[in-house]
Structure 1
Amino acid sequence: MDSSNHNWKSQISLFLTAQTITLFGSSLVQYAIVWYITLTTSSGTMMTIATVCGFVPQIIISLFAGVWVDRYNRKKMIIVSDGMIAAATLILAILFLAGYKNVWLLFIVLLIRSAGTGIQTPAIHALIPQLVPKEQLMKVNGMYSTITSLMMVLSPAASGAILSIGPIESILLIDVITAGVGICILLTLRLPAYLLPKNQSKSNLQGIAEGFAYLRAHAFIKRLLMLLVAIMILASPAAFLTPLMVSRSFGAEMWRLTASEMTFGIGAVMGGALITAWGGFRNRMHTTAVACALYGLMMIGLGVAPLFLVYLICNVLIGITMPCFNAPITVLLQEKVEPSMHGRVFSFVQIASSCALPLGMILFGPLADVVRVESLLIGTGICVLVCGVYTYFSKRFVG
């Protein structure tokens, strides 16, 4: 992107506004569907099916989506995926209003929404460098992280409030409206010229193979992805098992579980604002490494917290470190990966993110029934801390 383009601020403002609106509607529906399934079935099996429907399509389609994002207009890819999700949600709303309230319809919509997310996420990360000068990428990615974190805080409360006074159909229709508004805003977005890659006649499988070959040829990018996967697996106890720890060690009151979720979200908003204003160290990997080490320390803090208040403070601090860990990695990939490969590389990131946390839960979830969650947090926290220190001092992570 040519930094002489003085119009980039208005264009990225339009883009982030569109994403905020559509993300809010999507988050409302995501919570509403999960709660509806929980309240109407009270079935662990049904919740497991819902979780699978939310993860598997993303993983499968992301491989192909990366190729599509690199070959076609990225703005149109985002619009098409938004439109596909909105159409599925509208059909579901109509069927529910007509009285066809079968839970399996929700699973079908979750599958479609997951597939749309698998296309949308790499397209968003690949589009941002087209709009933003390189020297502003950290701040803009920090803004985007702040927006997504803010949705984590606001959406559960808003979704619960709407469901308390109206049916689930009202939230489904809100999502359709927000998607429509977001698409209309995106249609006004003017992208700088982007030269589509040659060899468009190659098959999708050949495009995927090119992506893997690119990773093999770029050791630093490969190490970044490996670090991301390792940290996400190790962080899974902090991500998923802390409600279990809170109920066992501090009390099973609902306000404690709510406070646990909200403090992390508030911390993530603060972290996004911090990385936006600060921009991180000059060496981007040092920012990620320090955030990683602090994340590990705070995981240990969660495990040894003698009081619930101390636990909440550590939870806020963990939330702050998350954007400071993720944003520099995103910016490094946007800077160092060739624009013609952005889609494929970010699709690999999406696949890694979608696989790592479930893999971590497969490993640590059963252990939580035989080992105290606090012990798991301390053990994995030490590992994360060691990874952060190693990353900071290792020459293998010099970009």
Structure 2
Amino acid sequence: MNYRNWKTAITAFLTAQMISLLGSSLVQYAIIWHITLTTSSGKMLTISTLCGFLPQILISLIAGVWIDRYNRKKLIMLADAAIAASTLLLAVAFLMGYRYNWALFIVLAIRSAGTGIQTPAVNAIIPQIVPQEKLMKINGINSTLSSLIMFLSPAISGAILTVASLEVTLFIDVITAAIGISITAAIYIRPYERTERREGSSLKEIGMGFSYLNKNHFIRKLLVYQVIILFLISPSAFLTPLMVSRTFGTEVWRLTASEMTYSLGMILGGLLITAWGGFSKKVNTTMAAGALYGVLMIGLGNAPQFLIYLSCNTLIGITAPCYNGPITVTIQEKVEPQMQGRVFSFMQIATSCALPLGMVIFGPLADMISIRILLTLAGAFVVSVSAAVWGLKYFNK
């Protein structure tokens, strides 16, 4: 494949995605905070969480087929446009006085479905722009930029909401989406050559994806490892705010510091994996980062002081890109282009299901067992699983 002018193309593409992500992140925080402040209802927050998760899971399978069947650049633009259109309609409805929570839930669901298409499409299209030997560096840069936006978004969204209404934030998202779509439209991305015959039924192509996964032992094992690890790390993903309030104090600044140190760690981790590139065998980088994540979970659970907790939390953030980046690059390198949409969708489903499933188990346990103990035990299991996978040469079989 001819990668002439790939640096210009990937710079423009990532710029478009980051502009769009900034608007989306601002709206995501603004909607959740609006629901929280206007209802103070756990039930409403639960509904909003489900609206943010379920559509993404449900659409992922068919999204994978679309990504492998149709023009990926156009799919990314259409998904972004659908999200922006729903946001615009919500802004207009709110301006006209129709300020209903069910409208917020519908928009959250549409945004979730759009993300279910856009995220795997972006991962699948990057190898069409970037030479294979540069994939780790570019994915590291992408991770760093995404983490930086996630680090800044809560502060920016909060600042906007203190001086303006929710509608202003919604309109900002529409504007950023329009800019992102315009930049993406101007980029030439060479289409990949589809070697498999296009099936008439999407169900058949989904079946082909599962068949491919069954035959590709390495990718299947990687998916299983991912599900197990994400299930085990769910206490650190969801329960740490509760642990902070129970152990160190209920001050808001402590919760803010916890979120910001993790995001800061992810920025540093993205820079690290970009500069370092990981081990020559990329899956070893993922396993090492997974084992280190487990050790740091134990550190979180046993931190005697809040400053030590924040240090462990920052280090956990650093391990995240070092764990996720090599997985993305491995799929981009080892999976045929015409199957990448479906494989990335399978990975997205695993991610979207494993963490909530972990919370179904660990959430109720947190009311019966100290969260410190849960973090320590789960971290020990993460270390054990990663060490066993490495020692038994799981990915070499």
TM over 0.5: yes
Letter in 2 for 1:215: L
Which one of 127, 132, 139 corresponds to residue 141 of structure 1?
Answer: 139
Q: What residue number does 1:266 align with?
A: 264
Within 5 A, what are the aligned runs for 1:204-353? 204-353=202-351
What do residues 221-279 of structure 1 show as CA deviations (whole Å, max 9, x unaligned)? 00101111111111110000000000001000000000000000000010001001111
CA distance in 1, matches of 2:316, 2:396: 25
Bigger shift: 187-196 or 238-247?
Answer: 187-196
The answer to whether the Cα contact below 8 Å between 2:124 and 2:332 also exists between their aligned partners in 1 is yes
Contact 1:275 1:324 in 2 (8 A): yes
Q: Write the letter of the residue equivalent to 2:55.
A: P
> Which of 162, 165, 168 is equivalent to 2:166?
168
Q: Distance in 1 between matches of 2:169 and 2:35?
A: 15
CA distance in 1, matches of 2:197, 2:307: 58
CA distance in 2, matches of 1:394, 1:283: 16
**Runs of 5+ consecutive residues of structure 1 not aligned to the other structure:** none
% identity of equivalent residues:
60
- What letter corresponds to residue 18 of structure 2 in structure 1? T
- Structure 2 distance, partners of 1:139, 1:30, is 28
In the other structure, the counterpart of 2:20 is 22
State the TM-score, normalized to the length of structure 2. 0.98
C-alpha separation in 2, matches of 1:374 and 1:193 = 50
* Secondary structure of the corresponding residue to residue 366 of structure 2: helix
Alignment of 1:2-17 (within 5 A): 2=2, 5-17=3-15
Deviation string, structure 1 residues 11-56 (Cα, Å, up to 9, x no partner): 0001100011000000000000000000111111110100110011
Which of the residues 19, 34, 37 maps onto 1:36? 34
> Aligned partners of 1:394, 1:30: CA distance in 2, in Å?
42
Following superposition, the deviation at residue 196 of structure 1 comes to: 3.2
1:391 aligned partner: 389
Q: In 2, are the aligned partners of 1:231 and 1:384 still within 8 Å (CA)? A: yes
Amino acid across the alignment from 1:380: A
Q: How many residues align?
A: 397
SS at match of 1:369: coil
Unaligned ranges ≥5, structure 2 = none
8 A contact 1:142–1:323 mirrored in 2: yes
Q: Residue 175 of structure 1: SS of its match in structure 2? A: helix
The residue type paired with residue 270 of structure 1 is: L
Q: CA deviation at 1:387?
A: 1.9
Q: Which amino acid aligns with 2:331?
A: L
Would you identify which runs of 4 or more consecutive aligned residues in structure 1 move more than 6 Å? Answer: none
**Contact residue 295 and residue 381 of structure 1 kept, 8 A:** yes
TM-score of the superposition, structure 1-length normalised?
0.98
2:273–2:321 CA contact under 8 A, matched in 1: yes
Equivalent residue number for residue 363 of structure 2:
365
Partner Cα separation in structure 1 for residue 239 and residue 265 of structure 2: 18
Cα–Cα, structure 1 residues 89 and 197, in superposed 2: closer, same or farther, change >3 Å? Answer: farther
- The one-letter amino acid of 1:218's match is N
For the residues of structure 1 that align with 2:305 and 2:208, how far apart are their CA atoms?
Answer: 52
Partner AA of 1:329 in structure 2: I
Of 353, 356, 380 in structure 1, the residue corresponding to residue 354 of structure 2 is 356
Q: 1:342, CA displacement in angstroms?
A: 0.3
Structure 2 residue aligned with 1:376 = 374
Measure how far apart 1:201 and its partner are: 4.0
What displacement does 1:198 show?
4.4
Distance 1:53 1:244 in 2: 23
- Cα distance in 2 between the residues matched to 1:244 and 1:284: 35
Partner of 1:194: 192
Alpha-carbon contact 1:129-1:334 (below 8 Å) kept = yes
What is the CA deviation profile of residues 158-197 of structure 1, one whole-angstrom value per residue up to 9, with x for unaligned ones?
Answer: 0000000000000000000000000000011111232234
Q: What pairs up with 1:13-162 in 2 under 5 angstroms?
A: 13-162=11-160
Check the 8 A contact 1:71/1:197 in 2, yes or no.
no
Kept in 1, the 8 Å contact 2:71–2:191? The answer is no
Contact kept, 8 Å, 1:285 with 1:392, in 2: the verdict is no
Partner letter of residue 210 of structure 1?
M
Distance 1:398 1:138 in 2: 21
Q: How many Å apart are 1:392 and its aligned residue?
A: 2.6
